[in-house]
Amino acid sequence: MLVAAAVCPCPPLLVPEVAAGAAPELDAARAVCTDALGVLAAARPDLLVVVGPSDGTGPESYPPGTPGSFRGFGVGMDVRLGRGDGEDAAGRQLPYGLAVGAWLLQRTGWADAPVEGRGVGDSLMAERCIEEGEDIAGRAERVAMLVMGDASACRTLKAPGYLDERAAPFDAELARALGAADTAALRALDTGLARELKVSGRAPWQVLAGAASGNGGLRGSLLYEDAPYGVGYLVATWS
């Protein structure tokens, strides 16, 4: 059963070595992500599952110890997903969202924890995301999730997706839903609109909604909402 969840953004710029001179601009987001992961630790889960966007359709499984890297972003820095030698990874590397999640875990004392990763692609439909979440929640008696994903990338003229007037209202409703642990609203996210607004977190958040379906007692809290670089970043906890 899902007992706790933390929702965090997944831009590689969250890693100071990648952001370089711009690192201080996301100091507040990093601090709040650390607080959110503290909620997971307090829940004392038997299993932690990191869910994030992937390039494939998915769901794709990443066993404990799967390696990741930020070398594609010009930084010779590697990470590993929790405890494990990565032998079962079959040569796979973590997609960037899960690599950022692994980095967050390493800096907050989860390096030796039992952690698994699941990648879900943008083309994965809502129904399948819900099923995936239900499967994850049934993996152990006490399951926690770290859910990685960004909101729209169309909040300003300089945003990766340019300015789209639909982006701010979409992100506002998303922030409300995550802060209220509103699983119905997350299930109902418009897949097509999310794709047009370059929302990377749609599928991961719908996996979260499915995982929470067996625990109606979860309560949400929105810890952070901002749009640096024209991209919506949200941090929330459910417990």
- What does the pLDDT look like over 73-97, one tens digit per residue? 888 999 999 876 655 666 789 999 9
Backbone angles phi, psi at 142, to 5 degrees: -130, 105
pTM: 0.96
Query: Looking at residue 87, what is its pLDDT?
Result: 58
HSE of 223, CA atoms in CB hemisphere, 13 A: 22
* pLDDT at site 108: 85
What is residue 146's predicted lDDT score, i.e. its pLDDT? 98
* pLDDT at residue 112 tops 90: no
Alpha-helical segments (H) within 45-151: 96-107, 126-137
Give the whole-angstrom CA distance, residue 238 versus residue 6: 6
Residue 196 and residue 122: Cα distance in Å, rounded? Answer: 11
In terms of residue numbers, what domain contains 137? Answer: 2-238
Residue 172 burial (CB count, 10 A): 13
Of 200, 199, 191, give the one whose Cα is nearest residue 167.
199
CATH number where 40 lies? 3.40.830.10
How many domains, the chain? 1
Cα dihedral sign, 45-50-51-56: negative
Torsion of CA 174, 175, 179, 181, to 10 degrees: 10
pLDDT in tens, 209-223: 999 998 889 999 999
Task: Find, among 173, 237, 232, the residue nearest to 9 by Cα.
Answer: 232
Q: Give the pLDDT confidence of 125-142 residue by residue, as tens digits.
A: 999 999 999 999 999 999
Long-range residue pairs from 26-35, CB within 8 A, at least 24 positions apart, any chain: 26/228, 28/224, 28/226, 29/224, 29/226, 29/228, 29/233, 29/235, 32/223, 32/224, 32/235, 33/6, 33/8, 33/9, 33/104, 33/235, 34/104, 34/107, 34/108, 35/223
Using pLDDT thresholds of 50, 70 and 90, give the confidence band for residue 57: confident
**What mean pLDDT value characterizes the chain?**
93
pLDDT in tens, 163-210: 999 999 999 999 999 999 999 999 999 999 999 999 999 999 999 999
What is the pLDDT, as a whole number, of residue 141?
95
pLDDT at residue 111 tops 70: no
